[in-house]
């Protein structure tokens, strides 16, 4: 025993580094859905974290003998903490923590009521060794009054060589790896979680400089690259000219619930009926990123993509934007309103709405909110919409009014008395509850529209109902597959990324439109219907009525989907045969994606629209 303890004491640094390294490899491998397609992927999974762990833990060697044990322990705890924070975040968002996400925590209240759902017994594995290492360090220091360092030169060489090797193999695998840093899953898989965090940190420092360095010349150059092919007018141009525009953001609503039944009962009877009298777009994909609801709002308002990390609302609220509210105000005498039952500052909406040209934002403080009428994030959709209608009594017409709903939010909580449909009976509770909250939201919408009709506020408006983003993350998706009687596959996962979009003009004949498109395209489509030429401002949105089939739907991680192909989980699919095909078939679309995301990021991070008239 003594011998073993002596051995541990003499090799404490190496042993700690190895434990941390192995722990990281195991967590990455088992918890972060990495796809190991080639031997290089396996090699990178293993060597990726080693060099950087050695480098970070080696910082303690630069300090005096007395301080070294403390810094060593702090380093170990921090790196383990980073691993655990990423795991918790990943379990819900299937994404990795970025600097921007940490900076926006105060705007979104962390993971909110969701955190407890995300902890699992496996987590002991990530925490247990911390106690062991602390014990060993203290024990060794007490005994020998020092933490023995390995040979500095060998240690540094091993660390730097393995970092260099990691980056070389990763860049050989994919030369775009660092220029498409928004594909975080790939980055983590290729260079490891900690190298990724460093790359992300550098990016976080670089981004603010883009704005300082940008000038009019950059703006002109970028503007020239924006192809205005997507803003062609359709035969519907001006169909809703001068009408009030009512937008409703349906929280976490995925398209699979539309026309779907549970035990013979429709989940969304109201939306199903409404779809028959609307343009119902049934192939619209969620394109949001870390800004979730705020990303969806941003895309619709501006026709630009969300940022690769964080929310534009939080990172760039003071930018100059061309927005739906601004162009409406310019073309007619529109007044612009937003209604949302959460704190005004959530997602920094109070600041962002001002930049975007909203005239009045009704937020939590404008509502009567009690324990009785609230659940989860706040006031329930039924009382929220009821109280909102009262506030609409005096709205000057024409207006744009946006309502952001909240009840159908993870973890989908609802008291029995509010359940209009029994929970589903899949093996995943989150999914079972989701059905009840979606159905509650549907009821709220039904009551909302019927009140508007009663008050004579229905005829003169155009209504847009859109799901803001997915509600069931990949972790819980099995329940949905059970519900729909389909197998769990990348392709079916992609199908579940569709959100419903209904555009309803009272009195119109309904039509299901199957064009494959994305949320960003809502912007240009609304301009078309409202009779506003969309080529007057820079936008990357494409009119859904005239959209070119060759234009891919671009996801924020660089994946794409078109009528025929899909690129997801680093594989190219032929959608018709549902088979994996050569990546080259997708490459043309992936390149369009890279170009377009780059343009959008330059416009936003450089605040380039301030230079463009």
Provide the minimum distance between the beta carbon of 249 and ligand GP9 in the complex, in angstroms, as a whole number. Answer: 8
28 scored as a contact of ligand GP9 (CB under 6 A): no
Q: Compute the distance between CA of residue 359 and CA of residue 401 in angstroms, rounded to an integer.
A: 10
- Closer to Mn ion by CB, 292 or 537: give it: 292
307 scored as a contact of ligand GP9 (CB under 6 A): no
Q: Which residues pair with 561 in a beta bridge?
A: 553, 566
Contact (Cβ atoms closer than 8 angstroms) between residue 210 and residue 427: no
- Closer to ligand GP9 by CB, 112 or 533: give it: 112
For tokens 């609801």, the residue is 293
| Alpha-carbon distance values, 461 to 166, 198, 259 (Å) | 57, 50, 25
With CB cut-offs between 5 and 8 Å by kind, which of Mn ion, ligand GP9, none does residue 404 bind? Answer: ligand GP9
The residues near 281 (Cβ < 8 Å, ≥ 6 apart) are 500, 501, 502, 503, 513, 515, 517, 544
With CB cut-offs between 5 and 8 Å by kind, which of ligand GP9, Mn ion, none does residue 377 bind? Answer: ligand GP9
Encoded one letter per residue, x for contact with ligand GP9 by CB under 6 A and - for no contact, window 558-597 reads ----------------------------------------
Given the residues 140, 293, 302, 436, select the one marked as catalytic.
Answer: 293
Sole binder of ligand GP9 in the list 335, 380, 409, 523 (CB under 6 A): 409
322 scored as a contact of Mn ion (CB under 5 A): no
- Closer to ligand GP9 by CB, 24 or 294: give it: 294
293 is catalytic: yes
For tokens 């924070």, the residue is 85
Q: Which residue is nearest to ligand GP9 (CB)?
A: 292
Q: Which residues pair with 466 in a beta bridge?
A: 249, 501
For tokens 């009551």, the residue is 447
406 scored as a contact of ligand GP9 (CB under 6 A): yes
Provide the minimum distance between the beta carbon of 400 and ligand GP9 in the complex, in angstroms, as a whole number. Answer: 18
Identify residues 248-277 at the interface with Mn ion (CB under 5 A). Answer: 251
Q: How many residues bind ligand GP9 (CB under 6 A)?
A: 9
Provide the minimum distance between the beta carbon of 592 and ligand GP9 in the complex, in angstroms, as a whole number. Answer: 28
Between the two ends of the chain, the Cα-to-Cα distance in Å is: 77
Contact (Cβ atoms closer than 8 angstroms) between residue 289 and residue 601: no
Provide the minimum distance between the beta carbon of 404 and ligand GP9 in the complex, in angstroms, as a whole number. Answer: 6
Sole binder of ligand GP9 in the list 100, 180, 293, 461 (CB under 6 A): 293
With CB cut-offs between 5 and 8 Å by kind, which of ligand GP9, Mn ion, none does residue 495 bind? Answer: none
Contact (Cβ atoms closer than 8 angstroms) between residue 466 and residue 540: no
Phi/psi for 340 (5° steps) reads -160, 135
Stretch that binds ligand GP9, among 217-225, 401-409, 414-422, 545-553 (CB under 6 A): 401-409
Encoded one letter per residue, x for contact with ligand GP9 by CB under 6 A and - for no contact, window 316-355 reads --------------------------x---xx--------
Residue from 112, 565, 74 nearest 378 by CA: 112
288 scored as a contact of Mn ion (CB under 5 A): no
Q: Compute the distance between CA of residue 222 and CA of residue 171 in angstroms, rounded to an integer.
A: 27
Please give the structure tokens belonging to residue 437: 């909250």
404 scored as a contact of ligand GP9 (CB under 6 A): yes
Q: Could you tell me whether strands 511-513 and 279-285 are parallel, antiparallel, or unpaired per DSSP bridges? A: parallel
Identify residues 76-135 at the interface with ligand GP9 (CB under 6 A). Answer: none
Provide the minimum distance between the beta carbon of 252 and ligand GP9 in the complex, in angstroms, as a whole number. Answer: 6
Helix (H) or strand (E) holding 605: helix 584-605
Other C-beta atoms closer than 10 Å to the C-beta of 268 total: 25
Q: Compute the distance between CA of residue 356 and CA of residue 465 in angstroms, rounded to an integer.
A: 20
- Closer to Mn ion by CB, 93 or 337: give it: 93
Provide the minimum distance between the beta carbon of 292 and ligand GP9 in the complex, in angstroms, as a whole number. Answer: 3
Encoded one letter per residue, x for contact with ligand GP9 by CB under 6 A and - for no contact, window 373-392 reads ----x---------------
- Closer to ligand GP9 by CB, 14 or 94: give it: 94
Sole binder of Mn ion in the list 95, 266, 381, 468 (CB under 5 A): 468
- Closer to ligand GP9 by CB, 109 or 533: give it: 109
Q: Compute the distance between CA of residue 325 and CA of residue 337 in angstroms, rounded to an integer.
A: 9
- Closer to Mn ion by CB, 239 or 499: give it: 499
Encoded one letter per residue, x for contact with ligand GP9 by CB under 6 A and - for no contact, window 273-292 reads -------------------x
250 scored as a contact of ligand GP9 (CB under 6 A): no
Q: Compute the distance between CA of residue 364 and CA of residue 496 in angstroms, rounded to an integer.
A: 32
- Number of alpha helices (DSSP H) and beta strands (DSSP E) in the chain: 23, 18
- Secondary-structure breakdown of the chain: helix, strand, coil percentages, each rounded to the nearest 5: 55, 10, 35
> Is the sign of the CA dihedral 123, 125, 130, 131 positive or negative?
positive
402 scored as a contact of ligand GP9 (CB under 6 A): no
293 scored as a contact of Mn ion (CB under 5 A): yes
Q: Compute the distance between CA of residue 285 and CA of residue 281 in angstroms, rounded to an integer.
A: 10
Q: Compute the distance between CA of residue 539 and CA of residue 302 in angstroms, rounded to an integer.
A: 7
Radius of gyration of the chain (CA): 26
256 scored as a contact of ligand GP9 (CB under 6 A): no
Buried b (16+ CB within 10 A) or exposed e, 18-36: ebbbebbbebbeebbebee
Q: Which residue is nearest to Mn ion (CB)?
A: 293
With CB cut-offs between 5 and 8 Å by kind, which of Mn ion, ligand GP9, none does residue 428 bind? Answer: none
Contact (Cβ atoms closer than 8 angstroms) between residue 140 and residue 8: yes
Binding site for Mn ion (CB under 5 A): 251, 292-293, 468
Q: List the catalytic residues.
A: 293
Binding site for ligand GP9 (CB under 6 A): 292-293, 342, 346-347, 377, 404, 406, 409
């Amino acid at each position: 025993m003594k011998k073993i303890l002596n051995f541990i004491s003499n090799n404490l640094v190496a042993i700690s580094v190895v434990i941390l390294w192995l722990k990281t490899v195991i967590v990455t491998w088992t918890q972060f859905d990495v796809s190991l397609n080639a031997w290089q992927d396996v090699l990178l999974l293993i060597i990726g974290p080693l060099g950087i762990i050695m480098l970070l833990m080696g910082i303690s060697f630069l300090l005096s003998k007395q301080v070294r044990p403390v810094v060593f322990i702090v380093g170990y705890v921090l790196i383990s903490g980073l691993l655990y924070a990423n795991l918790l975040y990943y379990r819900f968002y299937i994404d990795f923590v970025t600097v921007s996400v940490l900076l926006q925590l105060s705007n979104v209240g962390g993971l909110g009521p969701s955190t407890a759902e995300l902890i699992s017994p496996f987590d002991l594995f990530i925490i247990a060794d911390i106690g062991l290492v602390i014990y060993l360090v203290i024990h060794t220091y007490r005994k020998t009054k020092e933490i023995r360092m390995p040979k500095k030169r060998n240690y540094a060489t091993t660390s730097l060589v393995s970092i260099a090797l990691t980056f070389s193999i990763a860049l050989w695998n994919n030369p775009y790896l660092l220029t498409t840093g928004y594909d975080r899953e790939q980055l983590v898989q290729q260079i490891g979680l900690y190298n990724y965090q460093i790359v992300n940190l550098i990016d976080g420092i670089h981004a603010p400089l883009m704005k300082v360095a940008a000038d009019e010349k950059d703006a002109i150059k970028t503007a020239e690259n924006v192809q205005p092919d997507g803003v062609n007018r359709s035969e519907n141009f001006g169909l809703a000219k001068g009408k009030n525009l009512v937008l409703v953001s349906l929280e976490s609503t995925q398209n699979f619930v539309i026309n779907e039944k549970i035990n013979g009962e429709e989940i969304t009877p109201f939306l199903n009926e409404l779809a028959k009298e609307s343009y119902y777009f049934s192939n619209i994909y969620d394109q949001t990123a870390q800004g979730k609801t705020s990303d969806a709002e941003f895309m619709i308002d501006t026709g630009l993509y969300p940022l690769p990390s964080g929310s534009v609302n939080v990172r760039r609220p003071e930018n100059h934007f061309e927005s739906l509210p601004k162009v409406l105000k310019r073309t007619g005498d529109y007044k612009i309103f937003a209604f949302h039952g959460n704190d005004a500052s959530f997602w920094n909406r109070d600041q962002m709405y001002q930049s975007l040209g909203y005239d009045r934002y009704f937020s939590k403080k404008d509502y009567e909110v009690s324990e009785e009428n609230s659940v989860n994030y706040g006031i329930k959709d039924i009382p929220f919409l009821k109280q909102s209608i009262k506030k609409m009594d005096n709205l000057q017409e024409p207006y744009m009014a946006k309502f952001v709903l909240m009840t159908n939010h993870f973890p989908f909580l609802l008291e029995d008395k509010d359940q209009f449909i029994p929970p589903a009976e899949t093996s995943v509770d989150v999914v079972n509850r989701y059905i009840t909250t979606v159905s509650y939201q549907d009821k709220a919408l039904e009551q909302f529209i019927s009140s508007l009709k009663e008050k004579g506020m229905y005829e003169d408006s155009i209504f847009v109902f859109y799901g803001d983003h997915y509600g069931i993350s990949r972790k819980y998706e099995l329940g949905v597959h059970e519900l729909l009687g389909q197998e769990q596959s990348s392709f079916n996962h992609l199908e579940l990324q569709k959100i419903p979009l209904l555009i309803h003009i009272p009195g119109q004949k309904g039509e299901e439109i199957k064009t494959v498109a994305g949320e960003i395209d809502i912007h240009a489509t609304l301009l078309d219907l409202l009779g506003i030429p969309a080529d007057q401002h820079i936008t990357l949105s494409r009119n859904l009525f005239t959209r070119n089939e060759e234009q891919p739907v671009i996801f924020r991680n660089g994946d794409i989907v078109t009528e025929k192909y899909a690129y997801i989980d680093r594989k190219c699919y032929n959608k018709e045969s549902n088979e994996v095909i050569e990546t080259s078939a997708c490459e043309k679309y992936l390149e369009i994606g890279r170009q377009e995301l780059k343009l959008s990021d330059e416009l936003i991070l450089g605040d380039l629209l301030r230079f463009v008239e």
